[in-house]
Structure 1
């Protein structure tokens, strides 16, 4: 017989996986909305990956419910669930590592993004961070708003420091959260393995008991 504590732990981890799926799905959709900073920091491929990860978590959670509802003698779906969790884990590590790697090349990446921004967007960024241009006041600066005074603009520091600083905070939070999801996946995998082991053990004892005529063990 599977202990109540194990079932409670397994159910809690199932809830955590489903909650992680909802969070990932919602953030992926919300971050697709027009927002100058978020759209700079989080690419379309990032939001698509977040949505895909959220859907994967939710589908896996639904399958887990079906798997746990199978008779105790059947562990096939639970084995399939653990293989699914291995796949989910690989997906999570891939997405988290991709975002982490992006944080290593922020200075160059945002330089390329800055150049292709519309003038209105550059003005908004310059006003937001009180700076002019990317590396300095002559590097693709737009002389409006905070940088309307040409002499002040030329002496102003570039926007790459506050811009990459803000991006670093957000992207670090994102990939740390993604790796945190991996912790849930690993624990859920282990909990499912424990449930499988307990079910096999219970079934083995049931068969032994049948051979003894159903009298049970002393």
Structure 2
């Protein structure tokens, strides 16, 4: 009969694997989205996702799956402690990796307007035009700095001057979008931390069981 501690440990271990699946799915879907032709509906997300460490996310997810597979012997070998120690250290590595990704994205949000200005200037006129149509604005700061792209939203300089620049709407969208990503990453780190605590408690419990077994053997109880 499994103990409550072991049930919690197994549950957190599978939740840990689920986080890896979530991370892998997000990274692969995002990379697929980046390969799709740009439209008004996906242009903003794709511009921002292009700055995210998606390949590192895939690598991190693979580490998580490997760690989960290595934890299976610890589930089925009730007296083993070596696999538990290995799992604990691997979970710490995965958590550090995920935390680094989350911090990298979080740091971008601290300089959103400055970074988006450089990002806007590096995009093609087609992408800039789609962004203008998406946010109903003209140019980044205003219609002249940098110059707006003439399209159906910004028909001429007079219309462009009246609509104003995209800096406010674009940066607000970017902050909300990136906040969701790094918050999810920090949430995964929280689950990793709980799993490490579970591993430590199971390891301590098995060490105590082993100690009591040795005591029983010395008392002539045959390790029962």
- Structure 2 gaps of 5+ residues are 35-41
Contact persistence 2:10–2:75 (CA under 8 A): no
Counterpart of 1:100 (choices 102, 106, 121) is 106
Q: Which residue is equivalent to 1:28? A: 27
Q: Could you report, residue by residue, the CA deviation over 1:10-50 in whole angstroms, capped at 9, with x for unpaired residues?
A: 01111111110000001001111234222211236511122
Counterpart of 1:54 (choices 41, 61, 65) is 61
Equivalent pairs counted in the alignment come to: 215
Counterpart of 2:221 (choices 197, 214, 217) is 214
Counterpart of 1:127 (choices 133, 136, 139) is 133
What are the residue-to-residue correspondences of 1:83-98 with 2, within 5 Å? 83-98=89-104
- Structure 1 gaps of 5+ residues are none
> 1:132 is paired with a residue of what secondary structure?
coil
CA distance in structure 1 between the partners assigned to 2:109 and 2:52 by the alignment: 15
TM-score (norm 1): 0.92
Question: Aligned-pair distance for 1:146?
Answer: 0.5
What are the residue-to-residue correspondences of 1:146-157 with 2, within 5 Å? 146-157=153-164
CA distance in structure 2 between the partners assigned to 1:18 and 1:76 by the alignment: 20
Question: Aligned-pair distance for 1:3?
Answer: 5.9
TM-score (norm 2): 0.90
Contact persistence 2:19–2:188 (CA under 8 A): yes
Q: 1:3 and 1:175, CA in 2 relative to 1: closer, same or farther beyond 3 A?
A: same
Contact persistence 1:115–1:140 (CA under 8 A): no
Contact persistence 1:17–1:184 (CA under 8 A): yes
Q: Which residue is equivalent to 1:164? A: 171
> 2:53 is paired with a residue of what secondary structure?
helix
Q: 1:150 and 1:136, CA in 2 relative to 1: closer, same or farther beyond 3 A?
A: same
Q: Could you report, residue by residue, the CA deviation over 1:41-76 in whole angstroms, capped at 9, with x for unpaired residues?
A: 12365111221221121111111112332351x311
CA distance in structure 2 between the partners assigned to 1:212 and 1:99 by the alignment: 59
Contact persistence 1:82–1:193 (CA under 8 A): yes
Question: Aligned-pair distance for 1:98?
Answer: 0.8
CA distance in structure 1 between the partners assigned to 2:158 and 2:223 by the alignment: 93
Question: Aligned-pair distance for 1:87?
Answer: 1.2
